[in-house]
Amino acid sequence: MSRDLTKTRALYERARRLIPYGVNSNFRYWGEEDTLVIERGEGAIIWDADGNRYIDYRLGFGPIILGHAYPPVVERVAKEIRGGTLFAWTTPLEIEVAERIARMTGVEKVRLANSGTEATMHALRIARAYTGRERFIKFEGQYHGMYDYVLFSTASTPAGSMGSRHNPINVQTSSGIPAGIRQYVINLPFNDFERLEETVTARWHELAAIMVEPVLGNAAGILPRPGWLEKLRELCDRYGIVLIFDEVKTGFRLARGGAQEYFGLRADLVTYAKALGNGFPVAAIGGRAEVMGIVEEGGVAHGGTYTGNVVGTAAAAATLEVLETELVIETIFQHGQQLMTGIDEILNRASIPHYVTGLPPMFSFILGVEEEPVDFRDYIAGDGRLYERLAMALIERGVLPDSDGREPWFLSYSHDERIVADTLTAFEEAVREVK
């Protein structure tokens, strides 16, 4: 079985001549043979340059919450941009989006940005300004974007390089980061109560923030253990540390109010991007009025030529309207659960040891493990090569998850029961092939 990729490969060759690796994000490079060139998408489906059809579970790394080219979003953007795109003044659209975000998530103040990277970068600056402290804790396997402070022990970290759990090493994810930056970040294993308590108790006076993905959205969607997020909240309260929920992946996906609503607790600052705009570039930083107030005082620089531009805000307004008025999240949970259960059953029947991780809107599975994985180190212990072979066998059959199980399977409102059934048929065949 093999798809015709003649035009895709020719286009990729052209891309390769000018664009490093032929892609505009390193994460999109799957090697010379397997890097796709996609021409269009609609609902749950995308088509490559040769017209091969794929059920899309990558969804642009998560943003597509409603479906590709979702008509109400496309139409609202088209309508609004006829009146111009950028004025360097506040627009009614920005106000609508801020009001919707506040209503849905409970944040008291909100500023817009263009990407998740920008949002977490600004959140960190606000936390530092608010506390007058400089260091922060993040957790191994978490990814918060492309700037220097956070590119340590991300989900791209190779096995065996992070040192012992008792004394984790900050592993740099990229060349080009000034040596001094390393001192500002402390990486700890996710879900490790003892290590967390010990570190915070010893170093709280240096800590501006604990920045956490409430679910490990870049490491197979591994879930917080019961009490873990509450522990973070308690320690931040006790020591005056700003708790930042990086909800770039979980926001407007796990619930209308994101992980804060799903897990029933509040951070001091929250970052949103991805599902906020159904694939258009828009992001937000929200939080408690007192902490966000540091921006208003003029203490913290936040801005950008394109923040609050009409394209992104129109998309956010339309996306949030659908999320507020239709049973989007409920539908996604229902279909995602069918898929998780079906995958679990097929792997059980095939006697492949595995653990299904995450929640129905963003789940994954780790092969070759028997016990519940609780952190990135557990993810790495799984059989990533078998996962990749399975993913490639699925892609041949027109089902497109990421080839790497770190990246969850994302579902949209457009992934209906038929799509789920077709996926499970392909999954059963792919498992038979790779076993």
Ligand X SMILES: Cc1ncc(COP(=O)(O)O)c(C=O)c1O
Closest CB 274 distance from ligand X, rounded Å: 7
Closest CB 128 distance from ligand X, rounded Å: 18
Asked if 70 is an active-site residue, the reply is no
Tell me 147's DSSP state: S
Catalytic residue among 57, 70, 130, 143: 143
Nearest to 212 by CA among 137, 129, 272: 137
Residues found near ligand X in the complex (CB under 6 A): 61, 115-117, 120, 143-145, 213, 217-218, 246, 248-249, 273
Could you tell me where the DSSP H helices lie in 140-223? 193-203
Catalytic residue among 70, 130, 274, 378: 274
Asked if 274 is an active-site residue, the reply is yes
E strands, 229-353, in order? 242-246, 269-272, 283-287
Q: Per the structure block, which two tokens stand in for 165? A: 């759990």
Nearer to ligand X among residue 217 and residue 224 (C-beta): 217
Q: Residue 201, exposed/middle/buried by CB under 10 A (0-12, 13-18, 19+)? A: exposed
CA distance 209 to 391: 37
CA atoms within 13 A on the CB side of 38: 17
Closest CB 218 distance from ligand X, rounded Å: 5
Question: Phi and psi of 379, rounded to 5°?
Answer: -60, -50
CA distance 22 to 267: 39
Catalytic residue among 48, 246, 268, 375: 246
Nearer to ligand X among residue 122 and residue 397 (C-beta): 122
Nearer to ligand X among residue 116 and residue 360 (C-beta): 116
Residue number of the CB atom closest to ligand X:
116
For the beta carbon of residue 158, count every other beta carbon within 10 angstroms: 8
Closest CB 201 distance from ligand X, rounded Å: 27
The helix (H) or strand (E) run that includes residue 111 is: strand 109-113
Nearer to ligand X among residue 148 and residue 213 (C-beta): 213
Nearer to ligand X among residue 249 and residue 397 (C-beta): 249
Closest CB 1 distance from ligand X, rounded Å: 31
Nearer to ligand X among residue 280 and residue 427 (C-beta): 280
Q: Per the structure block, which two tokens stand in for 143? A: 């990814």
CA distance 403 to 307: 33
Which residues, in sequence order, are CB contacts of 358 under 8 Å at separation 6+? Answer: 215, 220, 221, 222, 223, 364, 408
Nearest to 97 by CA among 278, 339, 362, 342: 278
Closest CB 121 distance from ligand X, rounded Å: 9
Closest CB 24 distance from ligand X, rounded Å: 11
CA distance 190 to 142: 9
Which residues, in sequence order, are CB contacts of 11 under 8 Å at separation 6+? Answer: 37, 49
Closest CB 316 distance from ligand X, rounded Å: 14
CA distances from 61 to 118, 249, 273, 309, 387 (A): 17, 9, 11, 22, 18
Asked if 246 is an active-site residue, the reply is yes
What residues are annotated to the active site? 143, 246, 274
